[in-house]
Structure 1
Amino acid sequence: MRGADLVANALKAEGVEFVAGVTGGSTMALYDAIHSAGIRILVCRNERGAADIADGYARMSGKPGVVLVEQGPGAINALSGIANSYPDSVPVILLMGGVPQRFVGRTAYQENDLMDLFRTVTKWEMTVPLVERIPEAMRRAFSIVSAPRPRPVAIEIPANISSANCEDATLTYEPLRQKHFRFRAPGADIERAADLLAKSQRPMVLAGAGAIWSDATAELVALAERLGIPVATSLAGKGSFPENHPLALGLGALSRARYNTKQAAYCADQSDVVLTIGAGFRQQGTRGFSPLPAGKKIIQVDVDPSEFNKSYMVDLALLGDAKLVLQDLLAALGPKPRNNFWGGVEALKKEIAGLRKATREGWMADLTSDAVPINPHRVIWELMHALDPAKSLMLHDSGSPRGLICYHWESPAPKTFMAFGNQSCMGWSIGAAIGAKLGAPDKQVVALVGDGSFGMTGMEINTAVRNNIKVAYVVLNNGGFDLTRVQASKAFNKPPDFPWMQLSGDIAKVAEGLGAHTETVKEPGAIKGALQRAFAAKEPAVVEIYTMVGAPEATRI
C-alpha cells in the first residue's frame, strides 16, 4: 500500500464525495489512489477555481470541501481561494504535493516553504514527514475542520511520501467517531442575558453566519416571536432569519452596514439592547468601525472567544454554540409570550412593513427601468420574478453585483443565498456555484457576476460543462470595474476617464467556446426570455447582459 492509498482511504472513510484540483507530478500517485477508491475527481482549469469549488460545497453542505493541488505554483494558485475561506470560517482541507524530501533546501524545482505561505490563512498546517504519519495527519485535519469555528487546514505530502510503500496493517484509517462539537454557555451567563432582555424596552437581534453554521433558524424565529422583537442579519447571515417574516429587518448592523435597510437602521438607532448571534463586527458591517450610539448594551453570542470585545466592548459575552445558547435562553425567559417591547408587537410590525414598502417604492424606478444600456437593478427585478427563492440558491460576486442582489433579494430560509465577504476575492462565485450545486443538487443555483470577476475565473465554466454540473451565471457587462469607477468619481470629484478601469470582450462567445448555453441581452424586454431559456437549458448557462455604467448603488437608506 502506498502513502497515497492511505490518503484515499481516509477520504473515503470520512465520506468525501469529490476532490477538486489540478494534477501534476507530485500528486500523480494521490490522484491515482483517489480515483481507484471511487471518489469523484473534478479536474479544474485553475487551482484557485478548485479552492472556490470546495468552499462553495462546504458552505452549502456543511461538510469539508477537499482540494488537491501540485507543489509550488499549484499550491500558490490556490492561496487566494483559501485566504477567502479563512475569515468566513469555511471548512476546507487543502492537500498539496511537495518536493521530495531529499531535495528540500537545495532550491529544488518548484520548492517553496508552503507551511509559511499558508500559516496565516489556515487553522492548522502540517508537512507529513513519514508515510506512517499520514493517518494521523488526515484524522487531525478532519477533526479541526469539524471544530466549533471551522477554518481551512493544509497538509503538504512530499512526492516520495505519497509514492512510498507501507505494509503496516495497523495504519488502517478509522473515521472520526464524533463529527460535530457543540458546547453551551454557562447557566449563570444565560440568566444574566435573559434578565438584560427582560428589563429592556427595545431589544433587537443581529444574526450572522454563526447562526447558519449552527442551524439556529428555528430558535431565532421562536425567540423573535415569543418576545415580539425584530431581527436583522449581517450579509453573511442573510437567510438565517426568514426575510419574509413580519419581524425581519433584512440586512443591518451596529450601527450601519454598507448595505443596510431602512427598517434595520431604524431599529438599530432605537434599540437599547442588541443580542448578536454569531456575528462579527467587521469593517463593512460597521461603516468602518463607526462608534456605537451611547446607551446600547450588547450581548454577544459566539463560539470563538477572540471575537469578544474586539471591535466594540460587549456588556455580556456568551461563549457557546448559537443553537444551544438560544435554546437555553428561551428556557430561561419562560414560555409566556411578551408583547410590551417596542410599544407592542403589532405596532412594530406595522413600522417595519411601512419602511419596507417605502424602500421598495424608492427603488421602483430603477427596478422597472427601460433604460438602454440596461439598468442593473432591472436585472435583479427580473431575477426576483424568474426564480422561486425557496427552491433556489443565489450567489453574488465581489463589487457592485453584491450590493445589487443582497439589497433586493429576499431570502426565506438559510442557504437560499450564499454570501462571502471579508477578503472578497473577485471571481469566487463562479467556482463556488459549482461546489454549491454539488452540495444541493436539487436547487436552481444562480450566480450574479460582473464582467471584471468573470475575467478572473471564468474558465471554470468549462469545469461545470465537462462534469455536467448545471449552474447558471448572470454576467453584468458594463465594460469595466464599475464599483472602482464609482469610488474614483467620489475620490476625484469627477467622472473617471482612466483607461485602466475599462474592459472589453464578448463574454457570451467565450462561454460558448467553453461549452455553455449562452444568451446575450441588450434590451430590458429580452431579459425575461433569456433567463427562462438559461434556467431550462440542459447544460450550464451564461446570460451576458449589457448594463449601464455608474448605476446607483444599493446603499442609500
Structure 2
Amino acid sequence: MNCNQAIAHALKAEGTEYLFAFPHNPVIDACARIGIKPIIGRTERTVINMADGYSRLARRERIGVVAVQYGPGAENAFGGVAQGFADSTPFLVLTGSYRANRLDITPMFDAVPNYRAITKWAGQIATPDVTLDRVRRAFTLLRNGKSGPVLLQLPMDVGDREFPGDVDSYRPARRHRSMGDPADVAELVRRLLAAERPVIHAGAGVLYSDSSRRLVELAERLHIPVCVTLNGKSAFPEDHPLSLGVFAKANTLPACRFVSSADLVLGLGSSFSIANQQASLPAGADLIQVLDSEVDLQKDYPVAHAVVGDLDLVLGQVLAEVDGAHPSPRPDPRPQIKAAHAEWMAQWSDRFADRASPLSPYHVIGELMAAVDLDETIVTHDSGFPRDQTAPFWKSRPGGYYLGWGKSTQLGYGLGLAYGAKLACPRKQVINIMGDAAVGMAGMDFETAARNRIGVMTVILNNGVMSGYGKHMPAAVEKWQADQLGGDYAALGRALGVESERVCEHDQLAAAFQRGLAAAADDRPYILEIMTRPDPVMSNYLQQFGLEQLN
C-alpha cells in the first residue's frame, strides 16, 4: 500500500462520503477504490465551494474534503480556500506537489508557504512514515477550536512510496469541548442581568456548536432580543417574537433600532469583525464575547468581558447561573419588536407586491418564499444584490437553513455552496439565488450538477447589468455601457444538460417554481432564469440609526 492509498483509508475512517475533486491527483482513484465517491467539477474553485457547503451543513460531524492537482490545480483553488477562510469554514484540501527536491526552485508552486495566510494550518507529508499523523492532525484542527480550512500537500514522489505502517491502527480525530471558567460565566451573568437594554448578537459559532436551542432558551428566559450576523443567519428562528433579523451590510429596521440603543451586546459565536458585509457595533455599549478560542478576542473592538469555551456548554452554564440568580423580570420587548417589523415591512410592501414586468427582484423573492416549505428548505445567495435583497427578508426557520456568507464576496461562490449543501442534506430542498454576473464565474458547473444528479434549483435573476457597479465606474458606464451584460442562461443550462426555463411574467412564477422544486426533489437540477429589472436598492438602516457599514 502506498501513501496515497493510506490517506484514502484514513479519510474513510473519518467518515468521508465524497471527494470533491478536479484531476489529476492520485488520491482520487485511491478513494474511489474503497467506496468514497468522487465529485468531479469543472473548476477547482467550485469543488472547493462544494466542500465548503458540505461542511457548513455537516457542522463538523463530517468534513468536506477536496483533492486538486499539483501546480496549476493548487493555484486555481486559491480563491475558494480564501473565501472559506474568511468565513471560517472547516474543510480539508489535499493537493499534490512537484517532487520534494524541486519545491524551492522557481517557478514550481509550493502550496504550503503560499496557503499559510488563508488556512488554519498548511502542512506537508514530507515522508511516508508521517502520513497518518498528518491526516490525524488535520482532522483534529478541523474539528476543534476556531473553524477554518486546512491544507495537506503530498509531493508526488512521496505519495507513490510504500506506506510503512498499519492503516487499521488509524483512529478518527475527536472533538474536544470544554466549559468556560465559572468565574467568567458568573461575571457575564452579572453584567447581563444589570443591563437595561441588552441585545444578543449571534454568529456562525452558534451553528457549529449546535447551540440554537440554548440560545432560544436564554433569550426567552431574560426577554433579550436577538440579531444574527450574515454568517450566523439560521442561528435563531426568524419567526420568533424576539428575533430582530439580520444585522449586516443589508439589515432590518428592527435590528438597527435595537442594536443602536443597546447598553450591552452579547456576542455568541460572533467574531465582532470589522470586515466586508459587517455592520458597526454601538460605541456606547458594553461588549461581551463567548467564543471557542481566543483568536477573535480584542481584535477590532474593546471587549469588556469574555468567556472562552464551547458555546453550547457555556450557554448551559449561563442558564444555570441565571436560575441561581433569580433575576427580576425585564420589560418584555416583544410588542416593540413586532411594531418595528410591521413598520419595516410596510416600507417594502410595494416592491414585494409589484407584479409588473420586467419583474422586481423583491417580488420574485417573496413569491419564492411563498412557494416553499421554509422548514424543509436550504437557501443561499450569491454575491452582490442577490445577497442584499434576499438576506434581510428570507425567514430562517428551525428546520430550514439559510447559508449566509460574505466576509469575502466572490461572484459565483453560492452555486458550489448549494451543491455541497444538497449532498450533505439530500432530503432537503436546496435553492441557489444568483445574478447574471455570477453565471459568468460559475455557470459551466451547471453540468456538474447534471452529471452527478445534484438536485438543486438555481434561480437566476437576470437584469442584464452588473447591478451597483455604475457608481464605481461612472465614466465607463456612460461612454461604453461597461456594466451591460447579455446571455440566454436557460439555453446555456439546457446545453449543459440541466432542465431550464425562462420566466418573464408574474403569472408564470408559481408553476415554474413548482416544476423546479419537483425536479430537484427527484435529484434533477433545475434552472429558472427570471427576467428582472435593475433595482439597486437594499434594506439598510445603519446610517439612520447612527451606525456604519464596515469594509
1:430, distance to aligned residue in structure 2 (A): 0.7
Partner-residue secondary structure (3-state), 1:243: coil
Distance 1:126 1:335, change over 3 A: same
Partner of 1:512: 494
Counterparts of 1:456-535 in structure 2, within 5 Å, are: 456-485=441-470, 498-535=480-517
Q: Gaps spanning 5+ residues in structure 2: where?
A: 545-551
Q: Deviations over 1:408-441 (max 9, x none)?
A: 1000127610111111111111111111001101
1:293, distance to aligned residue in structure 2 (A): 3.3
1:496, distance to aligned residue in structure 2 (A): 5.1
Counterparts of 1:55-94 in structure 2, within 5 Å, are: 55-62=52-59, 63-94=62-93
Counterparts of 1:272-287 in structure 2, within 5 Å, are: 272-283=263-274
Partner of 1:402: 387
Q: Deviations over 1:142-188 (max 9, x none)?
A: 1111112121111111112222233x344544122x52122221111
CA distance in 1, matches of 2:527, 2:502: 9
1:383 corresponds to 2:382? no
1:362 partner amino acid: Q
CA distance in 1, matches of 2:329, 2:478: 53
Which of 321, 327, 331 is equivalent to 2:310? 321
Q: What TM-score, normalized by structure 1, do the two folds share?
A: 0.92
1:300 corresponds to 2:289? yes
Partner of 1:245: 240
Q: Gaps spanning 5+ residues in structure 1: where?
A: none
Contact 1:258–1:284 (CA<8 Å) still a contact in 2? Answer: no
Contact 2:374–2:400 (CA<8 Å) still a contact in 1? Answer: no
1:118 corresponds to 2:94? no
CA distance in 1, matches of 2:478, 2:120: 41
Contact 2:468–2:536 (CA<8 Å) still a contact in 1? Answer: no
Q: Deviations over 1:237-281 (max 9, x none)?
A: 1111111111111112xxxx3122111122112221221101122
Work out the number of aligned pairs and report it.
537
1:135 corresponds to 2:124? no
1:47 corresponds to 2:44? yes
Which of 171, 194, 199 is equivalent to 1:175? 171
CA distance in 2, matches of 1:145, 1:10: 15
1:124, distance to aligned residue in structure 2 (A): 1.0
CA distance in 2, matches of 1:300, 1:145: 22
Partner of 1:5: 5
1:379, distance to aligned residue in structure 2 (A): 0.7
Q: Deviations over 1:435-467 (max 9, x none)?
A: 100110110000100111111011112111111
Q: Percent identity?
A: 33
Q: Between 215-224 and 329-338, report the one with greater CA deviation.
A: 329-338
CA distance in 2, matches of 1:339, 1:364: 39
Partner-residue secondary structure (3-state), 1:68: strand
Partner of 1:311: 300
Distance 1:283 1:450, change over 3 A: farther
Partner of 1:21: 21
Q: Between 52-61 and 472-481, report the one with greater CA deviation.
A: 472-481
CA distance in 1, matches of 2:232, 2:518: 30
Contact 2:84–2:149 (CA<8 Å) still a contact in 1? Answer: yes
1:554, distance to aligned residue in structure 2 (A): 2.5
Partner of 1:332: 321
1:365 partner amino acid: D
1:123, distance to aligned residue in structure 2 (A): 1.1
CA distance in 2, matches of 1:286, 1:552: 15
CA distance in 2, matches of 1:117, 1:102: 17
Which of 250, 253, 258 is equivalent to 1:262? 253
Q: Deviations over 1:52-75 (max 9, x none)?
A: 000000001122110000011111
CA distance in 2, matches of 1:158, 1:359: 57
Q: Deviations over 1:265-320 (max 9, x none)?
A: 22112221221101122335786757x332x2111111231312211111111111
Alpha carbon RMSD of aligned pairs, Å? 2.0
Distance 1:247 1:106, change over 3 A: closer
Distance 1:460 1:198, change over 3 A: same
CA distance in 2, matches of 1:51, 1:536: 28
Partner-residue secondary structure (3-state), 1:550: coil
Distance 1:426 1:173, change over 3 A: farther
CA distance in 1, matches of 2:355, 2:362: 11
CA distance in 2, matches of 1:163, 1:147: 31
CA distance in 2, matches of 1:245, 1:288: 22
Which of 32, 44, 60 is equivalent to 2:29? 32
1:101, distance to aligned residue in structure 2 (A): 2.8
Partner of 1:454: 439
CA distance in 2, matches of 1:496, 1:400: 21
Distance 1:262 1:245, change over 3 A: same
Distance 1:173 1:503, change over 3 A: farther
CA distance in 1, matches of 2:534, 2:503: 16
2:224 partner amino acid: I
CA distance in 2, matches of 1:386, 1:190: 44
1:297 partner amino acid: D
1:340, distance to aligned residue in structure 2 (A): 3.5
Partner-residue secondary structure (3-state), 1:424: coil
1:483 partner amino acid: G
Contact 2:129–2:165 (CA<8 Å) still a contact in 1? Answer: no
1:8, distance to aligned residue in structure 2 (A): 0.8
Q: Deviations over 1:501-554 (max 9, x none)?
A: 221111111111111110101122222221111111241001001111234223
2:438 partner amino acid: S
